[in-house]
Amino acid sequence: MLSRPLVTVLSVVAVASMVAGCASRSSTERENRGFFGGLLGSGPRATAPDAGIGVNAFLWRASLDTLSFMPLEQIDPFGGVIITDWYANPEAPEERFKATVYVLDSRLRADALSVQLFRQARDPSTGDWTDVVVDQGTRIQVENAILTRARQMRISQLPGS
């Protein structure tokens, strides 16, 4: 049986590969193929224009890249949601962070991304975790890091780059 971290890594690699494959196809080809690349048969999915991933592939991949140091709890490439598990920096084990990223649109735009950060600190007397307010500047820095990475990915795919 595979360990949970290995399964998480394999899931991320598989999703990233599928997203990359979707981004490299023409729009007509994406409309005529399913998520795993096979031709769609007859039926309602054959004509569905949203048969592939429904969010911006650059924002999606940039979000996964930016949060790659955190363990993933849930990922939904169709709904555009990434939820991490709690992460504690080994240099500051008395606090931990969790993130939720929403990719809201198929266009590469700043308003197509929403990041929520959660922070907890360990109470030294009881050892329990308590919620702590996250500075909005930290959330904005994470959003900007994702947007910057997405733009870099987009520019690298332009002809002549």
* Average pLDDT of the chain to the nearest whole number: 76
Is residue 158 scored above 60 in pLDDT?
yes
Determine how many CB atoms are found less than 10 A away from the CB of residue 23: 18
Domain ranges of the chain: 4-156
89: phi then psi, degrees, rounded to nearest 5:
-65, 130
Please, are residues 103 and 63 in contact by the beta-carbon 8 Å criterion?
yes
Q: What is the pLDDT of residues 5-64, one digit of tens each?
A: 433 433 433 334 333 444 433 333 333 333 333 333 333 333 333 445 679 999 999 999
Q: Would you say the pTM of this structure is higher than 0.85?
A: no
> Apex CA 37: angle with CA 33 and CA 43, to 5°?
35
Q: For residues 52 and 136, which has the higher predicted lDDT (pLDDT)?
A: 136
In three-state secondary structure terms, 159 is coil
Over range 81-109, report the average pLDDT.
96
